[in-house]
Structure 1
Amino acid sequence: MTLRSLLSTLADGEFHSGQALGEALGVSRAAIWKQLKKLDELGVRLHSVKGRGYRVAGGLDLLDPQRIEAGLEDGVRARLGPIALALSLPSTNEAALQGSAQGGGGGRLYLAERQTAGKGRRGRTWVSPFARNLYFSLVWDFAGGAAALEGLSLVVGLAVRHGLMDSGVEGIDLKWPNDLLVDGRKLGGILLEMTGDASGQCQVVIGVGINVAMPDEVAAEIDQPWIDVRTAGGVSPGRNLLLAAVLNRLVPSLERFSEQGFASFRAEWEACNAHQGRQVVLQTSRVQIQGRCLGVDDKGALLLETEDGVQACHGGELSLRGLE
């Protein structure tokens, strides 16, 4: 018996006695008890009632590679490698980087039900409770090195936005360079990390986090306004179909980006730019720049109209916010 087998049985949200669980999974009640204790370590809250057994109130929407693959378009499925799914990881990006270092090919997808050290930009922690949101990293091969990757985070944001819209989520804006917002609150984020030759053949780990059904008990850990798919789009199709919808948009976008670069996406990105035409403040490690956001250039750099003229600002350790 594996812990995943026990989770799959409890996923229905119904009560299961220790004896019934042991019989269903072919192990002793003592073995079941040991596994149940491990669920608490994962952050899975068990409801126990004497005489009835154990349940996970509300059930669990567990990730399933077969269900994800069933939701993929044929061309997308053909471009993806094996899906690596873990119950818990420090971070999917870290797992993907390790896989790349060991010779894992592009197209490999890394998923986790929970991250214990999920990463956001600028060293922030990405709050990652068990089986509630989406945390995934996709490894993709690129030629041309770092120079050919300009604007990639914006393209990924567009693709994720389209996938979420296909799943019924409306009103999504994009915040340069890599956040998805609804009503000014963060729905998702993107973290890109490159490995390989900075001037030639390289791989990019595309890390994506999407808030799907954030539990109230972890909300206090989030240090900025946030929203989830459940709140923004009503009923979610489930995390497996939601992820498939995102991948169905992301993979073709990556192929198009490899051939055409960011310029062909520019107008589309500006049409959903959260700060288009607005006064903003851009904070770098050294200075603060205030101006009006004119959009982006053909390489994805942010264009700010300032007192000193139009400045093109490239990604990095930057923070952008609108002025009230």
Structure 2
Amino acid sequence: MNDDSLQRILQLLADGQFHSGQELGEILNLSRTAVWKQLQKLEGLGISLESIKGKGYRLPDGLDLLNAGYIESQLSPDASKLLRELDIHTVIDSTNNYVMQQAMNHENGYVYLAEQQTAGKGRRGRHWISPFGKNIYLSLLWNFNGAAALEGLSLAVGVVIAEALGQLGIAGIQLKWPNDVLWRQRKLAGILLEMTGDPAGLCQVVVGIGINVSMPKSSALAIDQPWVDVETIQTETNLDREVSRNDLVATLLSHLLPLLHHYADQKFIAYRERWESLNIFADQTVELHTAKSVVTGRMLGVDASGALRLRTEEGETLFHGGEVSLRGAP
């Protein structure tokens, strides 16, 4: 699916206008039959292709394809210095899987994006719905000296996602411990951190981020929780600025790369107050589901390492790690 001809056809059709088979063949230096075979692949990607005799082919809604050159041109000066490589593929099983497999071959600041994932991953083995060309599926590689340096990192990443969205005019973002980004009680984005290497020495961390931008309703049927996308937020808030996926990626990386660069020195304490200000369950009674039990308590916030603080019948208790998920209690 990642062959050059398919990518070039997508780029030509992205404008939403009609293009004849002859025109496509001449531009791509392909026969009409070869063009037709490439167009047939679009159906497998879930892309709606319109064909009218005498006019040609078009994608009725067009496509907002990712563009590495544009993204790099929009980075902040600090982020631009920290970016080592920006790799964009058409279809992959999972951006996190790919970067984990390639971790030893890349330096800090390697960013991998895909137009579609066939096996996108959420927390605790959940499937992350990843339709073609509609959302953000991003993984970023960074090296750390020991797993202890990662304490609270997923929470800090949530903070900079919220701040990047705010910079683009999307207000009202809240965070749910440990790694969900929400808007009006609906999930907008998720974070998945995975590590390889030596937990006591040099280790490679992959920061995976999925953001719903323009989720097709047909794809959303498989989502088992309240969700929202950037497009819906723009409509519900009458936001007059259209946020493209490329602008969103550039703004996100402008916040995320400096965070990772300084995190080993700054640690989560530098982000704790900002996280607390975005805590969706602050001072509320909640249920905490662990692998073994359900704990009810009042949300007190997080400690300096990012651990969850709950006031239970036994007093204040701390909860760590990715084996827990938070649900609002009735």
| Shorter-chain TM-score range | over 0.9
Pairing 1:251–2:257 present: yes
- What displacement does 1:269 show? 0.5
Which residue is 1:180 aligned to?
Answer: 181
Give the secondary-structure state (helix, strand or coil) at the position aligned to 2:221: helix
Which residue is 1:127 aligned to?
Answer: 129
Consecutive unaligned residues of structure 2, counting only runs of 5 or more, are none
Range moving further from structure 2, 226-235 or 9-18? 226-235
Q: Pick one of 47, 56, 70 that aligns with 1:44.
A: 47
The answer to whether the Cα contact below 8 Å between 2:100 and 2:206 also exists between their aligned partners in 1 is yes
Which residue is 2:280 aligned to?
Answer: 274
Superposed CA offset, 1:3-58 (max 9, x none): 11100100000111111211222222111101101111222110112221111111
In 2, Cα distance between equivalents of 1:56 and 1:303: 50
In 1, Cα distance between equivalents of 2:62 and 2:21: 17
Superposed CA offset, 1:113-171 (max 9, x none): 0000000001100000000000000001112x111111000001111111111111111
Q: Pick one of 141, 144, 160 that aligns with 2:143.
A: 141
Q: Pick one of 59, 67, 70 that aligns with 1:64.
A: 67
Cα RMSD for the two superposed structures: 1.1
In 2, Cα distance between equivalents of 1:236 and 1:244: 15
Q: Pick one of 245, 261, 274 that aligns with 1:239.
A: 245
The answer to whether the Cα contact below 8 Å between 1:236 and 1:242 also exists between their aligned partners in 2 is no
In 2, Cα distance between equivalents of 1:260 and 1:128: 33
Structure 1 residues 278 and 99: alpha-carbon distance in aligned structure 2, compared to 1, 3 A threshold: same
In 1, Cα distance between equivalents of 2:52 and 2:172: 42
Give the secondary-structure state (helix, strand or coil) at the position aligned to 1:72: coil
In 2, Cα distance between equivalents of 1:191 and 1:72: 23
Pairing 1:289–2:295 present: yes
Q: Pick one of 78, 85, 94 that aligns with 1:91.
A: 94
Structure 1: which 4+ aligned runs deviate by more than 4 Å?
none
Give the secondary-structure state (helix, strand or coil) at the position aligned to 1:2: helix
The answer to whether the Cα contact below 8 Å between 2:309 and 2:316 also exists between their aligned partners in 1 is yes
- What displacement does 1:64 show? 0.8
Range moving further from structure 2, 269-278 or 45-54? 45-54
Which residue is 1:9 aligned to?
Answer: 12
Give aligned-pair identity as a percent.
Answer: 51
Alignment TM-score, normalising by the size of structure 2: 0.95
- What displacement does 1:237 show? 2.3
In 2, Cα distance between equivalents of 1:316 and 1:227: 23
Alignment TM-score, normalising by the size of structure 1: 0.97
In 2, Cα distance between equivalents of 1:316 and 1:73: 32
Give the number of aligned pairs.
322
Give the secondary-structure state (helix, strand or coil) at the position aligned to 2:160: helix
